Amino acid sequence: MLDDSRYLCRLGVNVDHVATLRQNRGTMYPDPVAAALEAEAAGAHQITVHLREDRRHIQERDLELLRRSVQTAVNLEMAAPAEMIRFACRIRPDQVTLVPERRQELTTEGGLDAAGQKKSLGAAVRRLMKSNITVSLFIDPDPRQIEAATDIGAYAVELHTGEYANARTRRQAVREFDRLAAAAREAQTSGLRVFAGHGLHYRNTRPVAELTEIEELNIGHSIVARAVFVGMRRAVREMLDTIRRTEPPTPLPPFPPTYRPAA
């Protein structure tokens, strides 16, 4: 996967909510595939989509087209029933993020219970990895879940940032951030790659990106919401600006070179 040293981590842009708008009216527009290409043109490192069981936003057709048009990487978020695993093995996204799914939820409302489903998740992970797909497990920043993800043999965990993002008080935000930081350290020490996402927006993303263990953020709702006003490219660029490294660039060699008279 792309390594871009201008940023603290990779940015995966989730385009589900473009599809939500389309599905609301049953029209052909706006097309999440077009949004994905705009996001890539703005510098996104990955396109993320969630294929839900009820197909409320992203459709199978979108994934087939994304697979053929996205030049960076496709990250497919999905639950782990057998038919979804078969679908992923046919489409072959670069990465699958396994998430829990409850029909009535507004969005993914918590991490996977990896500790309680080690056997079934382990089988799903092995099947996906056999098809050369990187597998990440979306989990709460909880030591029990990290230990289970390690035992299962996942490549990565995506830490659920929802509790941090939805904190109502500064104290609560600090407490949730500390949990994230500790989980990121623990996951990396256990040999897992560490990603994060959910509920991140233009004002709460930077501290998460600054956690050195975190290599990838997946962000959707806030970017698509901003795109309504400024367009997709600018919305993605603004998010990239929030995760840009701030160290001064390496100084250029002196110019013009020091004049040395001929001996």
Query: Looking at the annotation, which residues are catalytic?
Result: 50, 77, 198
- CA–CA separation, 48 and 39 (whole Å): 11
Residue among 178, 116, 107 nearest 147 (CA): 116
Which residues does 139 contact at the CB level (< 8 Å), separation at least 6? 111, 112, 114, 145, 146, 148, 149, 157, 158, 159, 160
Q: Which is nearer to ligand PXP, 99 or 181 (CB)?
A: 99
Q: Which is nearer to ligand PXP, 100 or 143 (CB)?
A: 100
Closest approach, Cβ 239 to ligand PXP, in A, equals: 10
Which residues does 251 contact at the CB level (< 8 Å), separation at least 6? none
Closest approach, Cβ 131 to ligand PXP, in A, equals: 20
Q: Which is nearer to ligand PXP, 17 or 186 (CB)?
A: 17
Q: Which is nearer to ligand PXP, 145 or 222 (CB)?
A: 222
- Point out which residues bind ligand PXP (CB under 6 A): 14, 16, 50, 77, 97, 99, 107-108, 138, 158, 197-200, 218-222
CA distances from 93 to 30, 68, 102, 255 (A): 22, 10, 23, 47
Closest approach, Cβ 175 to ligand PXP, in A, equals: 20
Closest approach, Cβ 130 to ligand PXP, in A, equals: 22
- The answer to whether the beta carbons of residues 157 and 139 sit under 8 Å apart is yes
* Cis-peptide into 256, omega within 30 deg: yes
Q: Are strands 156-160 and 95-98 parallel, antiparallel or unpaired?
A: unpaired
φ, ψ of residue 97 in degrees (nearest 5): -110, 115
